[in-house]
Amino acid sequence: MSLPATRGSGRTGWSPGFLVKLALIALVDALGVYAVLAAWSAESWGLLAAMVALLLAANWAYFSKRALPWKYILPGLAFLLVYQVYVVAYTGYVAFTNYGDGHNSTKEQAIEALLVQNERRVEGSPSSPLTVVAQGDTLGFAVVSPEGVVEAGTADEPLAAVDGASVEADRVTALPGYEVLEYAAVLERQQEVTDLRVPVSEDPNDGSIRTQDARTGYVFTSTLTYDAASDTMTDTTTGVTYTPNDDGQFEAADGSTLPVGWRVLVGLDNFVTAFGDERYAGPFGKILLWTFAFAVISVASTFLLGLFLAIAFNDARLRGRRVYRTLVILPYAIPGFLAALLWSGLLNRSYGFVNQVLFGGAEIPWLTDPLLAKLAVLGVNLWLGFPYMFLICTGALQSLPGDVLEAAKIDGAGRWRTWRSITLPLLLVATAPLLISSFAFNFNNFTLIYMLTGGGPRFDDASVPLGHTDILISMVYSVSGLDGTAAKDYGLASALSIVIFLVVATISAVAFRRTRSLEEIA
């Protein structure tokens, strides 16, 4: 089918292949354009730019004759960008900000929140039946005072009595000079209605009418005002002026700050806290060591047990191997978080199955003694992890070339020698990359720790809520405050995540380099 002129790349002419390609690209373009429009309406400009770039790249790659390699690379590259690079880059960005409690959003929203939080209903002021009215495009309120007088006003015109209004059930239904808005029309402009403040009189200190439901109005005074020109907040009761500081808060001359702040870049502050703050530095060292020990021992123990069982069940003399193999894989079929939860029940000191039945009622503190808890975590992870290793070792063993083993036999090598010099190296070629990924997985095995011990038992000597079985990723979870026991600090948590990323990435890179030497054997 392939014509020499097209040389397998950019199909041209109206061959069936080209038509299929055209249809597929048209589909891709349609989805891409939809995504661009969606990004446009959601006003996320970053996403919009990325989508446009990706779309152009896709069209270029699949229609250009000179872009053959890109035809293969592009899909993978796009996935890499969306799921890896973007996530790491965003985490990296957050690590340099003070995103967390008290610095949760943008400056505009913080100002808005501060202003609305500092409005006070004037004590003893009546709640007045209110009607939303309009003068042309200008919105206003019409209220019925407790004395039965109808008053109306807009943002610029203070309330004034209006004659000739019709009132039904305490509510204004028609007003000369104003148009009374229907509920539907009010809903259309509800943002404007809730933002509207109609002054009670010429004196701003008397307060202004506002409403939250377009039915009842209350008189409020504001204790905080914002001046956009000088970018300052002023407390009208004390006269103190607050100016924005570098930490994303409004600060007065005496150093006091207003409660709601916003997100700003803080440079390396989070990394300094992670390593420099003595409250974190001590536990961090211990947790780092335990994380390495946990990941290495977990990989080694699961691999050795899996390998042992794989070799045992690979022996042709063993009867019923299939049954055994199926049984051994069972722990793998139970979701990890569920199994960890089950085990935490089984290991309960007084009521757990392990102590009650296996140890005859002995009260062994499996999950509350520092050393035993570590052993319990390793033991449960061994139970959870060996079926996976068993599977890959079985697969690798069965694909070993028989002639090499035969040659070893002819050369007079003993069993041990054959296993050490032939089987194991060949096995490692196939399994080493999986061992590395297993290490990376266990390094971040949050589920197991969280479900089994919750990081406990706590360090007795530390002043942060961390424990003996906490690994780095569960430490990040505690520090970020997501469990509700501490103030949220996404900045610090992201900084620690970046540290974890660097550790895992470095170890994986070095280890993959080392496995190349294994491949030379094959």
Please list every residue from 258 through 287 that binds another protein, using CB under 8 A: 259-260, 279
DSSP per-residue letters across 259-284: S--B--B-TTHHHHHHHH-HHHHHHH
Distance between CA atoms of residues 203 and 219, nearest Å? 13
Residue 344 beta carbon to another protein: minimum distance, rounded to whole angstroms:
10
Secondary-structure breakdown of the chain: helix, strand, coil percentages, each rounded to the nearest 5? 55, 15, 30
For residue 204, give the DSSP letter.
Answer: G
Residue 234 beta carbon to another protein: minimum distance, rounded to whole angstroms:
18
Question: Which region, judged by CB under 8 A, interacts with another protein, from 412-420, 439-447, 477-485, 508-516?
Answer: 477-485
Interactions with another protein, residue window 415-454 (CB under 8 A): 454
Interactions with another protein, residue window 118-147 (CB under 8 A): 119-121, 127
Residue 102 C-beta-side C-alpha neighbours within 13 Å: 12
Interactions with another protein, residue window 363-402 (CB under 8 A): 367-368
Q: Which one of 200, 456, 495, 499 is in contact with another protein (CB under 8 A)?
A: 456
Interactions with another protein, residue window 23-62 (CB under 8 A): 24-25, 27-28, 31-32, 34-36, 38-39, 41-44, 47, 51, 54-55, 58, 62
Interactions with another protein, residue window 153-212 (CB under 8 A): 182-188, 190-191, 193-194, 212
Residue 496 beta carbon to another protein: minimum distance, rounded to whole angstroms:
17
Phi, psi of 360 (to 5 degrees): 55, 40
Question: Which region, judged by CB under 8 A, interacts with another protein, from 134-142, 285-293, 312-320, 457-465?
Answer: 457-465
Identify the residue whose tokens are 């070095």.
Answer: 510
Interactions with another protein, residue window 289-348 (CB under 8 A): 348
Helices (H), 158-215: 183-188, 190-195
How far is CA 420 from each of CA 139, 282, 316, 425, 436, rounded to the nearest angstrom?
87, 42, 20, 7, 21
How far is CA 381 from each of CA 205, 364, 366, rounded to the nearest angstrom?
68, 19, 14
Counts for the chain of helices (H) and strands (E), in that order: 19, 15
Residue 104 beta carbon to another protein: minimum distance, rounded to whole angstroms:
4
Residue 295 beta carbon to another protein: minimum distance, rounded to whole angstroms:
25
How far is CA 501 from each of CA 83, 169, 447, 478, 506, rounded to the nearest angstrom?
15, 67, 18, 18, 8
Nearer to another protein, 364 or 391 (CB): 364
Q: Which one of 238, 350, 398, 517 is in contact with another protein (CB under 8 A)?
A: 350
Distance between CA atoms of residues 146 and 88, nearest Å? 61
How far the first Cα of the chain sits from its last, in Å, is 38
Nearer to another protein, 55 or 405 (CB): 55
Nearer to another protein, 349 or 374 (CB): 349
For residue 81, give the DSSP letter.
Answer: I
Interactions with another protein, residue window 68-97 (CB under 8 A): 71-72, 74-75, 78-79, 82
Nearer to another protein, 270 or 423 (CB): 270
Nearer to another protein, 43 or 163 (CB): 43
Nearer to another protein, 11 or 444 (CB): 11
Nearer to another protein, 219 or 448 (CB): 219
Greatest distance between any 2 Cα atoms in the chain: 117
Residue 214 beta carbon to another protein: minimum distance, rounded to whole angstroms:
5
